Structure 1
C-alpha cells in the first residue's frame, strides 16, 4: 500500500507517477480509480452533480459521559428532512468523546470551516434530549469533510436501444490541473458511486468484477 506523490498526464493520457514508497518514476499504461475521488486530486468524474458527503464533527469532553451512553450510536432522519440539504446524521459516543457524521451537499469550493458554526449549533440542539448540557462539557471541537460520497437518486432516461447499451458504461474523467481548462483523459477508468445513473447494487457489482474487464 502506498500513495501517489506526483503524477503527470501527457496528451491526455497517464505519462508518469512518483510514489511515496518508491525511488524514481513509474510509467503506467492505464490508471483505475475506485470509490470516491480525493478532494486533493485535480480530477472530476462526469458532471459531478447532486452529490453529498459527510461533515465530521468531533468533540472532546472535560468529563466522562454517563455510562449508559458510552459505546452507543444514534442514527437520525425523518420525513421532514428528506429532500433537504441535511437529510441524515449519526453520532457515536465513547467515554469522553462524541463523533458526528452529518450528511451535507458536496458543493464546489465547500470547506469544513464554512459549515462548522451552523452545523455544531444544530447538532447540540439535536443531541440535547440524549445528553443535556453537552455544550458546557466540550473542551475541543474539530471539523473535517470525509471522503465518503452519496449520489442523489435521479430519474435517468435511457434513449439508446438495448443492444447499444453497455452493462458497465464508461465514465468520463477530466483533468482540472490547469486553471480555467478542463481536459478529458484517456486510459483512465473509474469504478464507484460517482457514475451517473448507477445505484448502490450496480456500483458494488462493477467494483467486484472490475479486475476481469480492466482494459490493458
Structure 2
C-alpha cells in the first residue's frame, strides 16, 4: 500500500466547529437527562460537567450560567416541536374550515407531542419529563417559567378554540388551556402513579391511549364552558 493510499483511507479530521458542536451536544444531552430527573435546582454545573465528560469551565464558556444552559436545553428541541404542532393545527384548520370541533383542534395540537413520545427515544422522553417540570414547577429565580418557546403555538390553539365557540369568554378559553396543560404535563412526567392506582390497568408510558382518552374527555369537556351572557364575548 502506498503512502498516498494510506492517506486516502485516513478519516477526515473534524473541523474545530464540528468538535465544538459535538462537545455542546454532549453537554446538552447530559444536562437534559439530569434536569429531567432532578429538576433545575437539583442539579449543579459540576455534575453536568462530570456527566458530559467536559470541564466546568467549558460549560460556562458555552452557556455562561446554569440558567443559560437550561434555556439552551429547552430551546434545542422546541423549534421542531413548535413547527410540527403549528403545521398540524394549520392543516386541520384548512381541511375543516367552518366545521372545526374541539376534539379535532385538540388532536391536532396534542398528536405531534405524543407521537414524539411514542418514538421511545431516550432523549425525547427526557425532554418530555423536563417540559413537564417547566410547566408545573416554580424553579430558581434566574429561570423565567412564565414564558416558554411554546407560547405562540399555545396562542394559535386558543384562537382556533375561539373559532369553534366564539361565544365563550376568552378568559375561559385560557382556563381551559390551563387544564389541558396540566393533563399534558402529568402525562409527560411519566410518574408511574396511574400504573399503581389502577393496579396495572393503565400505564403511564401508553401514550397512544393517553392521547385518545385526553382528546375524548377534554374535547367533550369543552362543551361545558358557559357562554358569556348579556354582551359579546371579550376577545
Q: TM-score range by the shorter chain?
A: under 0.3
Say which structure, 1 or 2, has more relative contact order (CA 8 Å, 6+ apart).
1
Structure ranking higher in strand proportion:
1
Instruction: Give the structure with higher Rg (CA).
Output: 2
Q: With the length of structure 1 as denominator, give the TM-score of the two structures.
A: 0.24
Give the number of the structure whose residues are more often helix, by fraction.
2
TM-score of the superposition, structure 2-length normalised?
A: 0.22
